Each structure stands twice: as structure tokens, then as C-alpha cells.
Amino acid sequence: MRCIAVINQKGGVGKTTTSINLSHALAKKGYKVVAIDMDPQSHMGLGMGVTRQKIQGVDNVFLGDSELDEVMLDISNNIKLVPAGQRLAEVATGLKGGAERGRILQRAIRSSSSCKQSDFVILDCPPSAGLLGMNAIFSADELMIPVSSDFLALHGVSRMVNIIDYVDETLKQKSRKWFVVTRYHERRRLSQEVRSKLQEHFSGDVLVTPVRESVALAESPGFGQSIFDYQPKGNGAEDYLNLADDLLNERVM
């Protein structure tokens, strides 16, 4: 089992889009995936077609009311989803328990039979390094950092990396980081410069495939569909299938 947290403190860089469509791309290739929505906004669940308001999710796990396996939903033959749940915002701001609060998700994943039987656990993280983000970092073997093709997104990467490095130093570990270029415009110089800068500073950690800007990628979550259902022949589907291959084969720049 590979546990991957899709994380970046900056919003609008394609974290949820990547979490949803990478999960589906891996599933299409025959891998079993557990997707966990760690964002109180519940966008991953909505993008996977879960529209019910009152639903139990990972919030119940944090509050001690459920085991992880008890709140999983079958999305397809190869994908199980743990929705955020309507009380996850309470967890992010008010959960008591000291330092051990940061290990709740890690323990839940390790004790989950569904996670043990899966090939990948994908964590869609909120745009912050608070309690939920830290739980994701502590739980993950690998960290995927989407970076959109604009100056501000590039500027925010260093802060995210500093947080990860601090956690690694504290835990005496070395997290595997993957950088993904998102919202990429092939003909724009800025997009090319952002990709080049990432390669310069994080050589060997930037996945080869940039995810091109696509109206369909923006529209598909509104219909509760992955890009493979919404526009299976478009650039978005092609890019996420290639990105899955990058991850599987460690194809990097």
C-alpha cells in the first residue's frame, strides 16, 4: 500500500482535481484505491458524486465514533471513498488531545482492512497545515504537491516544502515528494518558466507530465464525475493517465 497525500497550502492549484482524477486513473489501470477526503469543504466527495448532506465520514473517525472501514463508500469496482463528513470542520478547530491528535489518521489507516488490501490510499488535503494537514503528512509515505502555472503558486511552494522538511527533521525521516505542474498552458512563457523553475530547484522530484488547463477538468466535479466519465477523449483524461504512469514508473524531470 502506498499512501499519498495531495497537499499544498495554496488554494486553486488543483489538489482536489488531482486527487479525484489520479484515483480514477489508477483504478482504470487495475489498482485498488481508497480515497479519503480530508477537506471540510467536501469537494472530493462532491466530485465523486456524493451529494448527501448528512453523511458519516472521516469526521467520525477523528471524533472516535467510527472505524475507517465503517464509513467507506463504494464508488467503483476499484475505488472506495471516505467522505469528509459534516463535522470535519469541528475537528479542524476544536479536537482535544495534545500531540497524539496528529496520529489519529495514521492509526486508522493502519488498522483498516480495506486500506491494507488496497494498492493506494489517496488523501485530498485542505489548503492549510493545521491539524488535518498534519494528520495527512504523518500518515503519508509520499507527498504530491500540485503547483499551478503562475508566479504566486511557485512562490508558495517554498513555504510548503519548509513545513514538510521541519516535520521530516522532527520525525527523523525523509518524505518522498512529487511535484505536479497543473493548469499548464503549453504556449505561455510563464507556464514554461514555472515548470523550468521547479525542475531547477527540485530536480528528480518533478513528475514528467504537466496537466494542461482544461474547461472539462473544471466542469466535471459539478456533475459528480471524473474526467474519464465527463470527457474520456480529452486532454485532461490523457494527462491524468500519463501522470499515473509517471507515479507508477517514477518518471521525473
Query: How much is the pTM?
Result: 0.95
- Considering all CA atoms of the chain, what is the largest pairwise distance in Å, rounded to the nearest integer? 51
Spatial distance between the Cα atoms of 48 and 22, rounded to a whole number of angstroms: 12
pLDDT of residue 130: 87
Residue 152's CB is within 10 A of a number of other CB atoms, namely: 10
The range of the structural domain enclosing residue 79 comes to 2-249
Helix (H, G, I), strand (E, B) or coil at 184: strand
pLDDT of residue 119: 98
Instruction: Using CB atoms within 10 Å of the CB of residue 244, give its burial: 0 to 12 exposed, 13 to 18 middle, 19+ buried.
Output: buried
For the chain, the straight-line distance linking the first and the last C-alpha, in angstroms and rounded, comes to: 25
Sign of the CA dihedral running 206, 176, 167, 3 = positive
pLDDT of residue 99: 66
Low-confidence ranges of the chain (pLDDT < 70): 97-99
pLDDT of residue 167: 87
Spatial distance between the Cα atoms of 83 and 39, rounded to a whole number of angstroms: 9
CATH number for position 199: 3.40.50.300
pLDDT of residue 11: 85
User: What's the pLDDT tens digit per position in 69-118?
Assistant: 999 999 999 999 999 999 998 887 777 766 678 899 999 999 999 999 99
Q: How many domains does the chain have?
A: 1
Residue 191: phi, psi to the nearest 5? -60, -45
